[in-house]
Amino acid sequence: MDQWTTFLQDKWYVLIVALVVIVLVVKLVKTVVKWVIILVLLAALAIYGYNYKDKLADVVQDAVSTISVAAQDQLTKAIKDEVKEAKYVKNADGSYTVKSKTVQIDGKPGSNDVKLTIAGQSFTIKADEALQKFIDQAKQNS
């Protein structure tokens, strides 16, 4: 039912056009054909409205994917710029912390998940190849 609400909020003009066409068909056509035309129009409207949520979900997924790629590119650029200043610190509990001017990475040896903090915002992500190179370079700097 959510797809109908979203459809009506976003595409209300399609419903208005369909209603106008239905009124015109009822007024102008006086045979059984008018009911066939009306049923076809209502079926088309129902199918379009029902599939609208799927189209909306695809658009949202594409936007999230684009934002994720942009964020990953920005992270890689920030890491490359700060790799020479990064310091590696081994904590008492066995975990490690890598700090630079704007990036902080907290993780445990052998684990692929790290906590990344940039500009006060923390994210738990998988350590990819670029991030692992940053951590290794910080070890060499310390």
- 117, part of any domain: yes
- Report helix, strand or coil for 96: strand
- 72, part of any domain: no
For residues 141 and 86, the answer to whether their CB atoms sit within 8 Å is yes
- 74, part of any domain: no
Q: Which domain holds residue 99?
A: 83-141
Tokens of 55: 């189209």
**Domain boundary residue among 21, 43, 67?**
67
Instruction: Tell me: do 22 and 62 sit in the same domain.
Output: yes
pLDDT, one tens digit for every residue, the chain (142 residues): 566 677 777 777 777 888 887 777 777 777 767 677 777 877 887 777 776 666 666 766 777 677 667 766 776 777 777 777 888 888 899 888 888 887 888 988 888 888 888 777 787 877 777 777 778 888 887 7
Tokens of 71: 């964020």
Instruction: Tell me: do 6 and 59 sit in the same domain.
Output: yes
Q: How many domains, the chain?
A: 2
- 75, part of any domain: no
Instruction: Tell me: do 100 and 60 sit in the same domain.
Output: no
- 128, part of any domain: yes
pTM score, two decimals? Answer: 0.48
